[in-house]
Amino acid sequence: MSEAAARPSGGLTRALVWAVAHAVNDGYPTLYLALLPLLMSRWHFSLGQAGLLAGLSALTTQALQPLLGSWSDRLGGPWFIVGGLAAGSVGSALGLAWSPSYAVFAGTLMLAGLGNAAFHPHMAALVRQSAPGREGRQTGIWMVSGMIGHALAPLAAVAALRWGGQLGVAALALPGLAAAALLLGSARAVPRRPRRPDPSTSPWAAAWTRGRAFFLMVVLRNLGTASLLTLLPILWHDRGGGLSATGALLTVVYGAGTVGNLLGGALSDRLGSRVVLAGSLALATVSAAGWALAHGGLVFWVLVALWGFSVNGAGAVMLVYGQGLFPGREGMASGLTLGWGNTVGALGAWGVGELAQSRGVPVAMMAAAVCLAAAIGPALRVMGRSRGPDGLVPPAG
């Protein structure tokens, strides 16, 4: 009997620890969203600056992921994920609690994003390597844990502020520190595996020659998503919604996204990436346009939930495909997929915020929905060829 068979609970325990750590980690970058109307009132900044926060955060949270992912491919070890989780939790919570101005808060978001950038590529690579032949399903399950963190973060931020004020918000750093300590033992048990990338492959050139349509799709999808997530609490506040309901609304988005992510990863293994990706983008476009025009009530909440479900349905498909672009460089590939595409998309939210400032929030939301629709074409091109033996469409080139 193998050692793995003799200790069947070991893999389950490790997967549970990874899931908890991912949920806690992914809650921190979105803590501020539920409090965004309050921050705008306190520091008197514009809708364009509200959109800029997403872009500034992405400069470190996302843009540096390829670099840190490439570094983790070479060095391995637990410190990228453990140290990243600890740094991100402290920076996010303390920055939200005690920043005296918009500029200081934006700076703390960027500093905390360095921790997030260190955590994600290495963890995503480990998850994919742990389930050969079931990459879509396994990655979808892991990403669901991150969506749970997104879903709980707005409620946690509002509750902490109401019950403990600034000190209560600062105390939200504690779950991250506890999860980092828990993760340390699990991460140390993961052996370093030598990675031997193809020396003939230039990863940066390949990102352009093999993945142009893929990265265009990622950028358009994330431009629409980041813009709509930023504008949603502002729209709700403009229509008379309260702070507690804003947190609940964002929780609905992320809760529905949890189901979509899990279902999308499993369906991609059965139906193929093309159906899942194009279908999710089409449904997200229609639902986003619907809730941009709706004025409240049950229909509005249902459309918001439908948007959260559909826009996240392709998350696992995109991550697994991105990792498949660069065999042996999974950490860097995860950083490119989750990093650069997300960064450009999030920076575009600044422009959509400026549009909201000049033409109104509903108009800006419709523009963001158009971005989601525009991503369908590149998605069909990327995923339109026959599937490979691993369930993925072979990269071009």
CA distance 215 to 178: 35
More confidently predicted of 333 and 114: 114
Question: Which range in 204-208, 237-241, 288-292, 371-375 is most confidently predicted, on average pLDDT?
Answer: 371-375
Q: Is residue 291 part of a domain?
A: yes
Q: Is residue 135 part of a domain?
A: yes
Q: What is the spatial distance between Cα 365 and Cα 230, in angstroms, rounded to a whole number?
A: 10
Helices 243-271 and 315-324, interaxial angle, to 10°? 50
> Greater confidence, 5 or 179?
179
pLDDT digits (tens, 9 = 90+) for 287-312: 999 887 887 788 899 999 999 999 88
Determine the 3-state secondary structure of 329 from DSSP.
coil
Encoded amino acid at 84, one letter: G
∠ CA 304-317-307, nearest 5°, is 5
Both tokens of 254, joined, read 């992320």
Asked whether the predicted pLDDT for residue 193 surpasses 60, the reply is no
How many angstroms separate the CA atoms of 353 and 351, rounded? 5
d(CA 349, CA 226): 6
Is 64 domain-assigned? yes
Specify if 391 maps to a domain. Answer: no
CB 373 within 8 A of CB 108: no
pLDDT confidence of residue 326: 63
- At residue 69, the pLDDT reads 65
Instruction: Look at the pTM and tell me if it is higher than 0.75.
Output: no
Q: Most confidently modeled of 108-112, 133-137, 209-213?
A: 108-112
Read off the tokens for 315. 């998350």
Tokens of 360: 């109104």
Provide the domain limits for residue 290.
Answer: 13-190+203-383
The span from the CA of 260 to the CA of 265, in Å, is 8
98: pLDDT strictly greater than 90: yes
Domain membership flag for residue 395: no
In a domain? residue 359: yes
pLDDT, average across residues 12-22? 80
Please give the tally of structural domains in the chain.
1
**How far apart (Å, rounded) are the C-alpha atoms in residues 341 and 216?**
8
Cα distance between residue 254 and residue 204, in whole Å? 33
The answer to the question of residue 185 being in a domain is: yes
Of 19-33, 60-74, 343-357, the least confident: 60-74
Would 361 be classed as within a structural domain? yes
Of 97 and 326, which is predicted with more confidence? 97
Mean pLDDT of 272-296: 85
User: Residue 32 gets which letter from DSSP?
Assistant: G
We report the CATH number of the domain holding residue 103 as 1.20.1250.20
As a whole number of angstroms, the distance between CA 345 and CA 218 comes to 8
Q: What is the pLDDT of residue 383?
A: 62
Where is pLDDT greater, at 160 or 150? Answer: 160
What's the pLDDT score for residue 137?
63
Closest by CA position to 195, among listed 79, 76, 82: 76
